[in-house]
Structure 1
Amino acid sequence: MRRMVDEPYFTHSAYSAHTTGIQVKCPKCHGAGVVTADEDNAYFRCLSCGHRMTQDRTVYRYDVHNQCRNCGRYYRVDIEDEAKQHFPILRVACPYCGATMPGEVHKMVDAFSYGAEIQGGKDPWFGLELWFLTSFQGKPVWALNREHLAYLIDYLSADLREKPPGNPKKTQADHLPTFMKTAKNRERIVKLLLKLQDT
């Protein structure tokens, strides 16, 4: 009988993997690459061709704030259009009287992007396809990296799954969709995951 003690809830999450690395496909050579992140940036590095990318994780807000020459009121207009955010000066309409006048575009830090969710089998910062990605009955089955893949294989192939000591409310298995944990699917999903291990 194979026993397995589950792991804490955030052991294998995109947020925790930003230090250990999320394995992805390189957009240039389709070889294996790694996405990591620090407080300021996300980084991609291809292990095959050496291609690299960096992305700022800070979310900025752009606006024009001014005093209207027509009605004298102070206003702020957010600039949502990305194409216009990089102009130093933009003509915008006063939201109070409609008069249009030029104003300086201001860039301010608005938020910090955690990018903690995997959507559609892609990493959260660059949108690159995960290296360990397959599907089962039309549903994506993926792992962030080799450690996560090993955990999934161990968990799904165990006969007895136990909660870790300390009686936590949530464990790593709570991240798994129901179709993966269903007894009739587990054996076939483990076979798919074992094939991924060879890549």
Structure 2
Amino acid sequence: MKRIKDEPYFTHSVYSAFTTGIQVKCPKCHGMGIVTADEGSAYFKCTNCGYQAEKERTVYRYDVHNQCKNCGRYYRVDIEETAKQHFSALHVKCPYCGTMMSGEVHKTAEAFSYAAEINKGKEPWFGLELWFLTSFQGKPIWAINREHLTYLIDYLSADMREKPMGRGKKTQSDHLPTFMKTAKNRERIVKLLEKMQEE
């Protein structure tokens, strides 16, 4: 009888990018690449062609704030258009009286981007497709890296699944969609995962 003890909730999540990395397809050569991250940036490096990319994880707010020379009120106008955020000064309309004035564009760090979810089989920072990605009855099945893939195979093929000790904490299996945990699907899904493991 095969038993498995489930793992903590965030073991295999986008936060793995900070420790073990997320395996993805290179946008240039379609070979395997790895996305990693630290406090300030996310990084991509292809293990096949050597292509590299970096993306800042900090979210910035761009605005022009000033005192209106017509009505005398202080105002702030957010600059949403990416193309305009690169200018050092812009003409903006006072939101109170409509007077057009020139003002300096201010760039302020708002927060780190934690929009960290796998969406449609793609990692969140570069939008690159995961290396371990397949589908079962039209639904995506993926693993963020080889460790995650091994966990999925072990968990789904086990006869006994135990939660780790502790009060009702969420575990890694809570991430899995119901169709993957359904008894009638498990064997076929494990076969798909094992096939990916051979790649």
Same fold (TM over 0.5): yes
TM-score calculated relative to the size of structure 2: 0.98
Matched residues, number: 199
* Structure 1: unaligned runs, 5 residues or longer: none
Partner of 2:27: 27
Partner of 2:71: 71
1:152 aligns with 2:152: yes
**Is 1:59–1:111's contact at 8 Å kept on the other side of the alignment?**
yes
* Structure 2: unaligned runs, 5 residues or longer: none
Partner of 1:195: 195
Partner of 2:172: 172
Percent identity, aligned pairs only, is: 76
Secondary structure of 1:174's aligned partner: helix
**Is 2:8–2:171's contact at 8 Å kept on the other side of the alignment?**
yes
Letter of the 1:59 partner, please give it.
V
Instruction: Name the stretch that deviates more: 159-168 or 20-29.
Output: 159-168
TM-score calculated relative to the size of structure 1: 0.98
Which runs of 4 or more aligned residues in structure 1 lie more than 3 Å from their structure 2 counterparts after TM superposition? Answer: none
1-structure distance, mates of 2:99, 2:155: 64
2-structure distance, mates of 1:17, 1:80: 29
Secondary structure of 1:84's aligned partner: helix
Letter of the 1:113 partner, please give it.
S
Partner of 1:57: 57
2-structure distance, mates of 1:17, 1:87: 33
Secondary structure of 1:191's aligned partner: helix
Secondary structure of 2:150's aligned partner: helix
**Is 1:15–1:115's contact at 8 Å kept on the other side of the alignment?**
no
Secondary structure of 1:20's aligned partner: coil
Q: CA deviation at 1:52?
A: 0.2
